[in-house]
Amino acid sequence: MAIFGGGFLKVQKEEVDPGKVQGTDLRVLKYPNPKLRTGNEEVLVFDDKIKVLANEMLLVMYAANGIGLAAPQVGINKKIMVFNEKGSQSKKETEMVLINPSIVDRSSEIDMLEEGCLSFPQIHGQVRRHVWVKVQYSDVQGKATECVLEGLPARIFQHEFDHLDKVLFIDRMEAKDREVNQKRLDKYVKKFGAGGLP
């Protein structure tokens, strides 16, 4: 995920397709790759493979100038997301790995912000999200955790949570923004085939 909001949020560096990233063979899949619309399995075994995968997802996310990434975006249909609201490898304190996440409560208050997604080059649009969400997940060791996310982390979580539920940000984009982007989306479908369409 990427953010382009103004206001109190700093505009993020433009996301890039990093191609092959040092330290991993994972690559960011682009819309309409069918893996983006495939169901994602719960993680049952918290072994070293999961830790390696989470670390490699973070490598890809940082290389792409992203602030969030979901496993299906790198072709792994499992319920894993990583994010860092600061978008910087040097800011480890804000790095999050969430496995098998769920939303247990949410604000009625909604806000709107311009989002991007690493699987949708050059596509941006306004999306409504809950201002805060109370979430449960397992950390990379398998330890159950509950916390309230607010503001940008809440937005990133909801974007990535959608990925794990086969929902893409274009499904939630404001109609006028979706319209502006439709030609480019059609071009991607033409280029890559229609396999990922809803």
Return the range that interacts with Co ion (CB under 5 A); candidates 1-9, 17-25, 74-82, 188-196.
Answer: 1-9
If binding is defined by CB under 5 A, does position 1 make contact with Co ion?
yes
State in angstroms the smallest separation of the CB of 143 from Co ion.
26
Number of residues in the chain:
198
As annotated, the active-site residues are 160
For the chain, what is the HEC assignment?
A: CEECCCCCCCCCCCCCCCCCCCCCCCCCCCCCCHHHHCCCECCCCCCHHHHHHHHHHHHHHHHCCCCEEEHHHHCCCECEEEEECCCCCCCHHHEEEEEEEEEEEECCCEEEEEEEECCEEEEEEEEEEECEEEEEEECCCCCEEEEEEECHHHHHHHHHHHHHCCCCHHHHECHHHHHHHHHHHHHHHHHHCCCCCC
State in angstroms the smallest separation of the CB of 167 from Co ion.
10
Rounded to whole angstroms, how far apart are CA atoms 184 and 174? 16
Rounded to whole angstroms, how far apart are CA atoms 161 and 85? 15
State in angstroms the smallest separation of the CB of 47 from Co ion.
26
Question: Which CB atom, from 1 or from 64, has the smaller least distance to Co ion?
Answer: 1
According to CB under 5 A, which residues from 114 to 173 bind Co ion?
117
Question: Which CB atom, from 1 or from 61, has the smaller least distance to Co ion?
Answer: 1
Question: Which CB atom, from 43 or from 67, has the smaller least distance to Co ion?
Answer: 67
* 84 to 123: interface string for Co ion, x by CB under 5 A: ---------------------------------x------
Question: Which CB atom, from 73 or from 138, has the smaller least distance to Co ion?
Answer: 73
State in angstroms the smallest separation of the CB of 132 from Co ion.
20
Give the nearest residue (CB) to Co ion. Answer: 117
Count of residues touching Co ion (by CB under 5 A): 2
Q: Which residues bind Co ion (CB under 5 A)?
A: 1, 117
